[in-house]
Amino acid sequence: MKTIAVLTSGGDAPGMNAAIRAVVRTGCENGARVLGIRRGYAGLMQGDMYEMNLRSVSDIIHRGGTMLYSARSKEFCTEAGMQKAIDVCKDAGIEGIVVIGGDGSFRGARDLSLRGINCVGVPGTIDNDIACCDYTIGYDTCLNTIMDMVDRIRDTTESHDRCFIVEVMGRRAGYLALNAGIAVGATSILIPEMEFSIERDIIERMRRTQKTGKEHFIIVVAEGVNEKLVAQGINGVSALAKYVEHNLGVESRATVLGHVQRGGSPSCKDRVVASQMGSYAAHLLLNGIGNRVVAMQKEAILDYDIFEALNMTKSIDLSLYDTAMEISI
């Protein structure tokens, strides 16, 4: 009987539970023993795991977060930590691990694969910032959460003729800010991938729209642009709100959406994609194939060598930005 394991690592994302469920059920239905490792690589090093069965994953497909908990571990990145993890795998008879997480987690999966423990990565991260994938688990739910939150903010923005600067997640990638910005009709959108000028891209745009009679404004800002804001003398979204108010006379407020973006029941798309990816990953391990990352490209599920996947780059579709700027005026 084969033994495979599953863990979640890095930031949690809605849909991780659906992926765990798919791994466990695919494993069990194909005659494997499936172990659930708690708290990512930290739990792996401590041997914190238990045997799962078909019923262990009942009633989780609709829940956000991860039933296996997640963690980040510096110790795992050291040679001693890695050796601890390998010893635990050998003792428990683990032949392969499905690692659900982001780029950092895949680096750990690559290192384990290099040392003889087959690993398959499943992209679970709200940021959609994994180069080999068009889509990552959690992204759709997060986008919809942001849209819902900003729609609520819009109600009060409109009632008071205000400007709201809304900071959303995305340290290195602007997928969330750009797509949510379009969906909520933001007047300006700032993302890490683009150079911007506060004067040209916010103040001037607002001034133009004011002339056409617009009196309330939503500006969506990815958290990763702060360095570029600082370079223009503005430290953070609260300072940006004050600057807008001072320059345009529009009462302005800043809201940082924060961790509310990570939670909540996964969307239909996240549940379906996570189920497909989890099952695909388990089949790879059951066939003795490791060192792969499962990806979605043009709606198809496929897999890449982890080294290749980690060396790939992807760029955001800036034509989407142009469209947003043309119509949110």
- Known catalytic residues? 127
Nearest to 36 by CA among 112, 103, 94, 106: 94
User: 108-167: which residues touch ligand ATP (CB under 6 A)?
Assistant: 108, 111, 125, 127
List the interface residues with ligand ATP, window 52-81 (CB under 6 A): 72-73, 76-77
* 293 to 34, 35, 113, 118, 122: CA distances (angstroms): 19, 20, 12, 11, 6
Q: Which of 47, 104, 185, 263 binds ligand ATP (CB under 6 A)?
A: 104
- As to burial, measured by CB atoms within 10 angstroms (0-12 exposed, 13-18 middle, 19+ buried), residue 24 is buried
Rg of the chain taking only CA atoms, in angstroms: 22
- Find the residue with minimal CB distance to ligand ATP: 104
Strands 188-190 and 217-222 turn out to be: parallel
Segment near ligand ATP (CB under 6 A), from 107-115, 202-210, 276-284, 317-325? 107-115
Residue 124 gets which letter from DSSP?
B
Between residues 114 and 329, which has the closer beta carbon with respect to ligand ATP? 114
270 touches ligand ATP by CB under 6 A: no
* Choices 103-111, 237-245, 247-255, 259-267; region in contact with ligand ATP by CB under 6 A: 103-111
Residue type, 290: G
Q: Output 63 or 107, the one with its CB closest to ligand ATP.
A: 107
Closest among 23, 107, 11 to 66, alpha carbons compared: 11
Q: Which one of the spans 49-57, 90-98, 105-113, 226-234 is the region binding ligand ATP (CB under 6 A)?
A: 105-113
**Which is nearer to ligand ATP, 105 or 328 (by Cβ)?**
105
Q: How far are the Cα atoms of 59, 154, 231, 301 from residue 190, in angstroms, in the given order?
A: 39, 18, 14, 31
Q: Shortest approach of ligand ATP to residue 124 CB, angstroms?
A: 8
**Residue 103 touches ligand ATP, criterion: CB under 6 A:** yes
Other beta carbons less than 10 A from residue 115's beta carbon:
13
| # residues contacting ligand ATP (CB under 6 A) | 18
Smallest gap, in angstroms, from Cβ of residue 149 to ligand ATP? 20
Q: Taking the mean position of all CA atoms in its chain, how far away is CA 13?
A: 6
Residues that bind ligand ATP in the complex, under the rule CB under 6 A:
9-11, 41, 72-73, 76-77, 101-105, 107-108, 111, 125, 127
